[in-house]
Amino acid sequence: MKALRLHAPGDLRLDDVAAPAPGPGEITVRIEAAGICGTDRHLFRSEFPCTPPVTLGHEFCGIVTAIGDGETHIAPGDRVTCDPNIACGTCAQCTRGRIHLCENLCAIGIHRDGGFAEQVAIPAHRAFVLPPSLDPALGALAEPLACCIHGVDRGAPLPGERVLVIGGGVIGLLCVQLARLAGAHVSLLTRSPDKRALAETMGASHTAATPQAALAECPAGYDLVLECAGVPDTVVAAPALTARGGRIVVLGVLAQRAQVSIEPFDLLFREIDLKTSFLNPFTQGRAADLIASGRLSLAPLVSRTVPLSRAAAAITEPAAPGDIRVMVVPD
Ligand code: NAP
């Protein structure tokens, strides 16, 4: 079968490899759609640790083709999404329930073969069933959605609160929808007029192109700011956009070793809670259920699809302007 494998930083190739067979407790999945995430570009450029040679792709959806030894809730023919993060279950963090902070975390598509391939083998307990009628490209959004659910859980918006989402990529636009479902008034700060217009169709009641415009809309500051741009400027801007007693959750991944300047006195004097949100602990199933419910607007987040044979270029080149999520599909 074909698989898009990272052999070393800067060396991504479409290889012919043996199709995987499911080991004990595993299933194999025929890939229908796999999303290209910014992390894939970071992996290619060696800006994020991984263990090459490895088949990339950690956001995917497909059909179960075979079941290994052992009982499982999955059956051949099921459409599934995969939580790519495999925790050891025994380290100090896992035994406290913090599986996303597992000291031995192994991620499918980063440390073991992932979904930019015709098939993948995954642990059955990392698979979550989706409806047979679902567009697989929407199913492949379950992983980023699961990360957003964790971020919104961390921020805990209340009905009627004012929430500002910064960054109108897939993460920001999913957070807009989750905060709206929680009953908050949601604003989005992002520079692109197209993304602002899209956010308004997804429940944002106000959008802004600059921090100044976002603050003008809510001069006392927002109860909750969800930072989803992942750049230093927006992290620095977040405290001034947050109300007294408010919360900031940083979901955005800044470059390793990037530094920002924050005034601790201001955070303390206005008792602003500054948190981060990492990965998707116990939220992939909720994401799958939410996608199945049809309550989210997901189709506009899929900008285009590329065949597996041409996916390397889509990963090695910078994201095209206007792209939100590009899906890799089998040829
Ligand atoms: P993305 O497509 O790059 O979206 C980020 C958006 O931020 C861009 O579309 C850009 O839109 C906006 N932006 C950039 N600079 C800005 C600025 N100065 N002011 C306002 N908006 C700005 O990325 P994504 O896939 O949505 O992911 C967002 C972040 O979350 C990334 O850092 C990603 O690595 C991270 N992430 C975190 C987790 C987690 O578990 N915490 C999981 C997945 C992804 P405009 O051009 O419209 O400004």
Say yes or no: 126 and 230 in one domain. no
Say yes or no: 17 and 137 in one domain. yes
**Measuring from atom 42 of ligand 1, which residue has the nearest CA?**
147
Say yes or no: 161 and 270 in one domain. yes
Distances, alpha carbon 102 to alpha carbons 34, 135, 157, 285, in Å: 25, 32, 27, 19
**Looking at residue 70, what is its pLDDT?**
85
**Looking at residue 256, what is its pLDDT?**
84
- Which atom of ligand 1 is least distant from the CA of 173? 26
Query: Residue for token digits 């000291």?
Result: 103
Statement: residue 219 has pLDDT above 80:
yes
**Measuring from atom 1 of ligand 1, which residue has the nearest CA?**
169
**Measuring from atom 10 of ligand 1, which residue has the nearest CA?**
167
CATH number, domain with residue 211: 3.40.50.720
Mean pLDDT over the full length of the chain:
97
Rounded Cα distance, 42 and 316, in Å: 9
C-alpha dihedral (217, 219, 223, 226), degrees to nearest 10: 60
**Looking at residue 100, what is its pLDDT?**
98
Q: Which of 129, 87, 130 is nearest to 111 (CA)?
A: 87
Say yes or no: 67 and 117 in one domain. yes
Q: Which of 305, 313, 318 is nearest to 14 (CA)?
A: 313
How many structural domains comprise the chain? 2
Eight-class DSSP state of 320: P
Say yes or no: 13 and 95 in one domain. yes
Statement: residue 78 has pLDDT above 90:
yes
24-59 residue pLDDT tens? 999 999 999 999 999 999 899 988 888 999 999 999
Say yes or no: 216 and 123 in one domain. no
- Which atom of ligand 1 is least distant from the CA of 144? 43
Rounded Cα distance, 47 and 256, in Å: 8
Comparing 70-74, 200-204, 212-216, the range with the smallest average pLDDT is: 70-74
User: Is residue 263 domain-resident?
Assistant: yes
Tokens found for residue 198: 């899209």
A 10 A CB-CB count for 56 gives 31
- Which atom of ligand 1 is least distant from the CA of 192? 47
Statement: residue 182 has pLDDT above 80:
yes
| Mutate which of 212, 228, 233, 248 for ligand 1 pocket (most atoms within 8 A of beta carbon) | 228
| Count of all residues that appear for the chain in the document | 331
User: Is residue 292 domain-resident?
Assistant: no
The range of the structural domain enclosing residue 244 comes to 148-276
128-172 residue pLDDT tens? 999 999 999 999 999 999 999 999 999 999 999 999 999 999 999
Rounded Cα distance, 248 and 265, in Å: 16
| Mutate which of 178, 191, 248, 278 for ligand 1 pocket (most atoms within 8 A of beta carbon) | 191
Comparing 36-45, 275-284, 286-295, the range with the smallest average pLDDT is: 36-45
**Measuring from atom 34 of ligand 1, which residue has the nearest CA?**
253
Q: Which of 138, 163, 162, 41 is nearest to 81 (CA)?
A: 138
- Which atom of ligand 1 is least distant from the CA of 280? 40
A 10 A CB-CB count for 70 gives 14
With contact defined as beta carbons under 8 Å apart, do 178 and 240 qualify? no
Mean pLDDT of 113-119: 98
R_g of the chain computed on alpha carbons: 20
Q: Which of 152, 194, 160 is nearest to 176 (CA)?
A: 152
With contact defined as beta carbons under 8 Å apart, do 124 and 288 qualify? no
- Which atom of ligand 1 is least distant from the CA of 171? 26
Say yes or no: 318 and 209 in one domain. no
Name residues contacting ligand 1 (CB within 6 A).
38, 144, 147, 166-172, 189-192, 195, 228-231, 233-234, 251-253, 277-279
**Looking at residue 48, what is its pLDDT?**
84
C-alpha dihedral (47, 51, 55, 60), degrees to nearest 10: -70
State in Å: Cα 238 to ligand 1 middle. Answer: 14
- Which atom of ligand 1 is least distant from the CA of 276? 41
Say yes or no: 102 and 38 in one domain. yes
Tokens found for residue 76: 């051949």
Q: Which of 317, 307, 240 is nearest to 274 (CA)?
A: 240
**Measuring from atom 29 of ligand 1, which residue has the nearest CA?**
252
Q: What pTM was estimated for this model as a whole?
A: 0.98
**Looking at residue 47, what is its pLDDT?**
83
Say yes or no: 212 and 313 in one domain. no
State in Å: Cα 173 to ligand 1 middle. Answer: 10
Eight-class DSSP state of 126: G
Rounded Cα distance, 112 and 121, in Å: 10
